[in-house]
Structure 1
């Protein structure tokens, strides 16, 4: 199952990219492949939760020669989440009609890259899958072919190539100081490396992942890209590709460089707090939904960084849970932002309530875990920060909601969106509500993911 979950999207992606994706049969075949991949990951996740982590070497090669795949709770959580986002975005484009021939194949190749990235146990293979996923993302950003999409693609490619170069330097530094690239071996040997060398390598990884997340002060590219791309692509970038950054901070920070994470914890919390306030304040000043969501994304990932900085079982579990909730929220809001109709207004409201942390949406559970993290850290300042961030989120989201859905017949509003597309966003809204009303599975998954990091580190 572990190998098949990786091979399936790669094989079909390589095949479908050669066909005309504008044909409905090709688009829906890609959707079906993503659905099958999602089902496999669900089975794999259940198996990991019941029986523990799984590890194989592809092709029957010995370890150190073949690609080592390892499925633990953290990896399968992010793989499952990312494929779910890609499935929703691909279905949305298939409903309205794909505009470019390569889109279905590229989405599948992106799914393969992300799945491999989350399930590999080797730093170099992580980089390989990282680059494969980013290459597909660069091409997807041009989707639409208009000037704003091409400008967004140019900015996204230039900035993320720089981040990839920094990441490659850190990979080389890791091998130089430890003599290995297997994640488990690096985690064991890094404790014997000089503090300055280990911190330098860790900072390089942190910068690379922060660029992917769009954290302050590495955020400068994000508003142009998220606001310039089509809604489905923005949902993919914010809900799936950005997971590389969140996963990387957890896997490399808490799993491989725990001592360096502990030394830099105060800096991480301060940068996270700056992202929360900066993103929220800039989002309040934006009337356009796409721009507001772009700046909101900067603020929301700040919560993840704060939780990672606090660390421990509570902080790491909160970081995993908030990453999942934030990904679902952004996917729902970006897909709903370009639609019209009463049903869309309701789904957008659910997403807005979730981002603000209002029950019964999933965001309420995420904010509760963040408050638990702040209390565990014994920091009243963090509690106040969470209250202010949530209040500002409610202001800017319902400011846009009022502008888009309360005003009667705004000029250029366009016709009501197709019912299947509105039903898709409503299904995502129901999922967000379901997670909020029955949070136990997600709490169990995030707690198990945090424990997997701590157990592997201590082992």
Structure 2
């Protein structure tokens, strides 16, 4: 219980302090890094407690259930919280080593961690929305980091589209309360079975659209390439590796966790959308020329694997969706961060990230792809297996093209935008390459020893299938 409370209090309290300090001062930047490191450590303790003893939950302030804020940590929520905060830690460390350009960056990253932790560790739909908006506000401001025309344009697009997603989500929350009379997730899951089918489907579709917009899922992807390609590398790593987890987590928590019957009825549609995302993202990534745009379209394709696994469902499908979401977050963080530095170590780290995205051993992405392929085999769909193979081949192709253009063709720098030149300039100094090297080593370690990640993903799937043990209100 203490670790659960600290996971929100530590980033919230320190984040408010850091926002008023000048983040361009190195001491302030490192204070943000230390805070995120402490948050990751607390989440690690919480994860150990959850995996050992089951769900941990309590209502803040001593209020009765249904009145106070219900904090609830289970294997699913703590897995997403830990992976997201680790991405934030890597991005904060990378940007601090390169030199923070705006005073609010460290505070915003820490406050984003507080919002994401609250979102992943709440058991109430309305509190989910509150933390959801808190995270989005921090993300809106972060998107404009750098102050250039491209960053400001990305911030406006990101804010406009995600405000639409937030409105749809709020309507779905209101609809949920209207048809069930409660906003506690466990109670909603019970009462939704008695709701007329048309009303339940309408509410479920509202949540699906809202999360699809956040995730950049085809055909709700139109905002994502511009935003990811025009933001600074550290911000793109945060958006693709941490903020995008909101969409993946939401699909899992509200799909099999709350609207299980509606998910079963729409399984074929979800699998079709996921397959379309995989092919569309891969083809468009190959067709782009700027590496940042190629990685942006790659993000669209990679989330398709998560949706396919959710659509197939069952213990195997849900475990694969969790596993792939975590691996994809680390992959995207590594690949975007490599665009800010150069050198042989960075080139090697990029190769590891590329192999992981393509699902080639020994990188951990092979474990994630294997889990998704297993779901396709369980679904007895040869067509789906072929599509997954084609998606992996496209991933390997466009990542090879990025490597060729970024690390083999240094003489072609005149075609690179001013923003990319500025981001690539601080490449000197081994310390500035440490974050990407650490991420690469982590991906290799996960591929060599995948049992812990597989065990955590299995425990998260047990939460969704109702076979996990629990505690608390």
Instruction: Give the alignment partner of residue 152 of structure 1, picking from 145, 151, 154.
Output: 154
2:77 pairs with 1:75: yes
- Any unmatched runs of 5+ in structure 1? none
Instruction: Give the alignment partner of residue 285 of structure 1, picking from 278, 284, 287.
Output: 287
Match of 1:444 in 2: 455
Distance, in Å, in 2 between the alignment partners of 1:444 and 1:198 is 33
Label 1:263 to 1:13 Cα distance change in 2 as closer, same or farther (>3 A).
same
Once the two structures are TM-superposed, the CA of residue 212 in structure 1 deviates from its matched residue by: 0.5
- Contact residue 17 and residue 107 of structure 2 kept, 8 A: yes
- Contact residue 347 and residue 407 of structure 2 kept, 8 A: yes
TM-score (norm. length: structure 1): 0.98
1:154-178 deviation line (CA, Å, top 9, x unaligned): 0000000000000000000000000
2:424 pairs with 1:422: no
Match of 1:175 in 2: 177
- Contact residue 285 and residue 293 of structure 2 kept, 8 A: yes
Once the two structures are TM-superposed, the CA of residue 286 in structure 1 deviates from its matched residue by: 1.3
- Contact residue 359 and residue 366 of structure 2 kept, 8 A: yes
Distance, in Å, in 2 between the alignment partners of 1:172 and 1:83 is 30
Label 1:78 to 1:360 Cα distance change in 2 as closer, same or farther (>3 A).
same
- Contact residue 77 and residue 445 of structure 1 kept, 8 A: yes
SS for the counterpart of 1:254 is coil
Match of 2:108 in 1: 106
Distance, in Å, in 2 between the alignment partners of 1:416 and 1:103 is 21
- Contact residue 340 and residue 426 of structure 2 kept, 8 A: no
Match of 2:445 in 1: 434
1:196-275 aligned at under 5 Å gives the runs 196-275=198-277
Distance, in Å, in 2 between the alignment partners of 1:36 and 1:347 is 26
Across the aligned residues of Structure 1 and Structure 2, the Cα RMSD in angstroms comes to 1.3
Label 1:149 to 1:173 Cα distance change in 2 as closer, same or farther (>3 A).
same
- Contact residue 174 and residue 181 of structure 1 kept, 8 A: yes
Match of 2:356 in 1: 354
Distance, in Å, in 1 between the alignment partners of 2:413 and 2:192 is 60
- Any unmatched runs of 5+ in structure 2? 415-420
1:363-387 deviation line (CA, Å, top 9, x unaligned): 1001110111001111111110111
SS for the counterpart of 1:411 is helix
Instruction: Give the alignment partner of residue 346 of structure 2, picking from 344, 347, 360.
Output: 344
Deviating beyond 6 angstroms after TM superposition, the runs of 4 or more aligned structure 1 residues are: 456-459
- Contact residue 255 and residue 457 of structure 1 kept, 8 A: no
SS for the counterpart of 1:220 is coil
Higher relative contact order (CA 8 A, sep 6+): 2
Once the two structures are TM-superposed, the CA of residue 338 in structure 1 deviates from its matched residue by: 2.6
1:118-157 deviation line (CA, Å, top 9, x unaligned): 0000000000000000000000001000000000000000
Match of 2:55 in 1: 53
Label 1:415 to 1:22 Cα distance change in 2 as closer, same or farther (>3 A).
closer
- Contact residue 187 and residue 457 of structure 1 kept, 8 A: no
Distance, in Å, in 1 between the alignment partners of 2:469 and 2:31 is 44
